[in-house]
Amino acid sequence: MSKPQEKQAPSCLDCEKESPRLPTLTDADFRKKLSPEAYRILRQGGTEAPGSSPLNQEWREGVYACAACGHELFSSKTKYDSHCGWPSYWDQVAGHVKFNSETLEATCASCDSHLGHVFDDGPKPTGKRY
């Protein structure tokens, strides 16, 4: 994910809109745009080392966007320190993150990039940890 943008986006608690699909990038486009490590994580479902993300220390107000396509994913209002080694959010921007209940994987609803996993050990009001 990229650093938060200045504008605010609604969370799932604020609206029920469907996520718009952005223009589809090809695999070649993603390979050109992303570093090899970002490609491995986002497009191949890899995992970054815990504690290695600069987003762990990012607390400015704004919206966190998909590093692969720029789609808004999480509001800074839902970010919290879960002490798990990865940036954590208790809610998504409405409909902008897909969830696979079998694998617990979270992906960008626009470009299907791997974002991590969703767990049921987050704070209220959702109890989720993205």
82 inside domain: yes
pLDDT tens-digit map of 5-23: 544 433 333 333 455 555 6
Long-range contacts of 83-89, Cβ-Cβ distance < 8 Å, separation of 24 or more: 84/50, 84/129, 85/50, 85/51, 85/56, 86/48, 86/50, 86/53, 86/56, 86/116, 87/1, 87/53, 87/55, 87/56, 87/58, 88/122, 88/129, 88/130, 89/64, 89/129, 89/130
Residue 1: predicted pLDDT: 66
pLDDT computed for residue 8 by the predictor: 41
- Tens digit of each residue's pLDDT (9 = 90 or more) over 76-100: 999 999 999 999 999 999 999 999 9
Give the chain's domain count: 1
Question: CA-to-CA distance for 20 and 44, rounded, in angstroms?
Answer: 23
Local confidence band at 24 (pLDDT 50, 70, 90 cut-offs): confident
Which domain covers residue 39, as residue numbers?
Answer: 2-117
Residue 8 lies in a domain: yes
Residue 71 lies in a domain: yes
Say whether pLDDT at 50 is over 50: yes
Residue 109's pLDDT is: 96
Distance CA 92, CA 124 (A): 14
CATH number of the domain that residue 106 is part of: 2.170.150.20
pLDDT digits (tens, 9 = 90+) for 94-120: 999 999 999 999 999 999 999 999 999
